Structure 1
Amino acid sequence: MGHTILTVVYHLLNKRQHYVELGADYFDGRKKEIVIKQSIKRLEVLGCKVTIESIA
């Protein structure tokens, strides 16, 4: 954890930027298709039949 914090601080100081919180679901949003596929596979392993519908 300490290494990660120091890495973030280094990059912020090096690029002279302010810290911006990206949110709890930032990485899920970036890899949405992968998260969906992994979730489907996990549910099928547990014995569920999965149908996906996008919300408009």
Structure 2
Amino acid sequence: MLEVQNSNTSSTKYINLELTKYETINNLEGVTMRIKTGTLSTEGVSIIFDNKSDNEFT
């Protein structure tokens, strides 16, 4: 499960993801991702995508 936060709004969305064979996809300028402090465990992790570009991505 992935927690998605939009820096432009206060909403949070949860998404179920499947594994992929690709190591690098969609290198987007102005978009970074990081692990939310204190959420890494053997059961899961919350990843924060920070979009400082002028584009909205899904």
In terms of fraction of residues, the more helix-rich structure is 1
Instruction: Identify the TM-score tier after normalising by the shorter chain.
Output: under 0.3
TM superposition score normalised by structure 1: 0.21
TM superposition score normalised by structure 2: 0.21
| Structure label with greater radius of gyration | 1
In terms of fraction of residues, the more strand-rich structure is 2
